[in-house]
Amino acid sequence: MALNKAQIENVKILKQIRRNLHDKKRECMVDGCKENAINSHLLQRHGILNNIIEDGHMMELRPNDMFKWNREESPIVFKRVGLNDAISYPLFCNHHDTEIFAEIENSAPDLYSYRTRLLFSYRAICADEYKKRFEAEYFDRIINSRTLDFDHVYVSKLRDSFYAGVRDLCQFKSVILEELASPSHRLEFVHLEFPIFPVYASSPFSFETNLNKLNSSEMWDGGVVHLIPLNDKLHILWGYLKDSLNKDMEEYINKWRNVNKESLGVLLTDLFTQRIEIFGMSPSLYRSINKINIEKYFKSQLKSYQTYDMNLCVDFNMFEGDVWDNYNLL
């Protein structure tokens, strides 16, 4: 449906707001550091991502074109991204990005090391904090606009949900920083290995079924998950606070053990649809996915956004059929 003149003007303003926020200089996320942040990669470009890169590119989720988007569609789409932009955000200054993560950047990371797992998790938490602060600022600017016509209640609710997410992430980040400084093993990690499959991720995930926590200071149940293609294997690392593991989350993680191709495909679909946003895949894998399943993916994701129901389950396998033919998996 074509936009009318007023809607076109609104879209222009919204695009400019996002552009201004994207171009805004960000300070390093290390407490007390005032230096500008550089583009920090959550996973090694040379050593991890180059295991699945094709012609210098991979596929990741990016914002949809506002002139083509409506509220009945997903606000994000899959786009080709170059290696320099893959799974990266302005998080740390050059000094801290180099110093803090040297041991997982300068050589092959030891995925069995508790400290290595903490470092991956720290960076993933910071990335999601940046993303949520970005969206909260975006909605703040919409609310403060004198020219935009919008549903104030709806936009305020969205803004508040992002600030609640920031609060939660900061609590989790504090625990990780304490563990890095003086490890007491408050986090548990479950490490699963599969034959190589060209997907990657490094992201917090939520498995909170009590939505009353949204308006409380109590930390949500959840953790971090990393999908790392390394040494001809796909390593999946689940990390969570030992004292926040609820029954539903434990059952969900256990589903990833002893899976076949079909069940792994469904679990990956559920993970990418319901649980996380920071992930990607090789271009050839994306091309092999049936277009109908891509449409199902975005419909399911939109439903997840609209309901925020962690109990939703996907009813399809995005990676079914011929997708597996090029991979010696299970």
> By residue range, what is the domain housing residue 270?
187-324
Closest by Cα among 327, 306, 310, 324 to 270: 310
DSSP 51: G
What mean pLDDT, rounded, does the chain reach? 88
In angstroms, the Cα distances linking 283 to 23, 236, 288, 303 are 28, 21, 9, 26
Residue 101 resides in a domain: no
Give the pair of three-digit tokens for residue 270: 């559920």
Residue with the bigger pLDDT between 329 and 260: it is 260
Residue 253 is predicted with a pLDDT of 93
Residue 40 resides in a domain: no
pLDDT digits (tens, 9 = 90+) for 36-87: 999 999 999 888 998 899 999 999 998 876 555 555 566 788 999 999 999 9
Residue 191 resides in a domain: yes
Q: Could you give the percent of the chain with pLDDT greater than 90?
A: 62
Residue 86 is predicted with a pLDDT of 94
- pLDDT bin (cut points 50, 70, 90) of residue 261 is confident
pLDDT digits (tens, 9 = 90+) for 225-258: 999 999 889 999 999 999 888 888 899 999 999 8
Q: What is this structure's pTM? A: 0.91
Residue 242 resides in a domain: yes
Residue 4 is predicted with a pLDDT of 74
pLDDT greater than 80 at residue 159? yes
Specify the number of domains making up the chain: 1
Residue 237 resides in a domain: yes
- pLDDT bin (cut points 50, 70, 90) of residue 287 is very high
